[in-house]
Every structure is written in C-alpha cells, then in structure tokens.
Structure 1
C-alpha cells in the first residue's frame, strides 16, 4: 500500500471513529455535523472497529464536506424529523 493510500485509510478510520462516537453520544448533533440521515445514523452506531477498518481501507475518501451555509432549497426536514423522534422517545421514558 502506498503512503497516500495509508494516509487516506488512516484519515477515513479516524473520521469513522469520530462519527460513530458522535452518533452514540448525540445522534441529532451527529446528523447535523456529519450530514447523516436516520438510516446512516443507525448503521454508524453499530459499526465495529473491524468493520470501520475495512471501510476505511477502500482507497476512497469517506469524508463528505458540507457547505458552511445550508442552501435555501435544503429544508431542515431531516433534522426536524430526527428532533421529533428524539422528543417522542424522551416522552416514553
């Protein structure tokens, strides 16, 4: 494996670790910070270290850079839906 591939693999792995821990601590914030939908959140939460290493070593960048300002056509519906489900879950407790 070349140095570039090794560096990319390491960067991917660290990104996945950060995203997984963020999802586990606060899913709503993780959705906003990483641009994840509800299905992606549930997958991220259950990733094992072995699976993350396998995903990280695919020789492609996993990181997705999001714009600093949300375009007008992208309503915060995903985040609103996640917030509503979080509130529903909190009421059940």
Structure 2
C-alpha cells in the first residue's frame, strides 16, 4: 500500500469513527453534520470496527464536504464555480511572447 493509500485509509477511518460515534449519540446532529439520511445513519451506528476499517481501506475518500452556506442572491452554479481550479486562459497575444 502506498503512502497516499495509507494516509487516505487513516483519514477515512478517523472520519468514519467520528461519524459512527455521532450517529450513536445524536442521529439528528449526524444528519446535519455529515449530510446522511436516516437509513445510512442507522447502518453507520451498527458498524463494527472491522467493517469501518474495511470501508476505510477502499482506496476512495469517504469524506463528503458540504458547503457551510450558499450566499443569498447567488445561483448555485456560480457557487460551484467558486470551487473550480483557476485555469489561465491564453490569448493569441500571450503566445507571441
């Protein structure tokens, strides 16, 4: 397993442990903090450490980042574009340099 995979697995495991503990103690807060529905919260609360570890080692990020808020008057498409990487646009004038 590469260092990147190990780091991702560790981060996933810690995230899943936090989410599971939240699901067990306060399902409503889990829905708000982690963006999960009732069925997923129930499944998460029932997961064993071994199952959490298996999920964490899937080589995929399990973390879901949610926007804190959408500014009023701003279209969702514009909001999403704020998170896109900035790619410089070259013009014909730039290529002549």
What's the secondary structure of 1:66's corresponding residue?
coil
Paired position in structure 2 for 1:63: 63
Q: Does 1:16 align with 2:16?
A: yes
Give, in whole Å, the separation in 2 of the partners of 1:37 and 1:71.
24
> TM-score, normalised on structure 2?
0.71
Q: Please provide the CA RMSD for this pair.
A: 1.4
Give, in whole Å, the separation in 2 of the partners of 1:21 and 1:10.
17
Which protein shows a greater Rg? 2
> TM-score, normalised on structure 1?
0.74
For structure 1, the 5+ residue unaligned runs are: 73-93
Aligned length: 72
Question: RCO higher in 1 or 2 (8 Å CA, sep ≥ 6)?
Answer: 1
Q: Which has the higher helix share?
A: 1
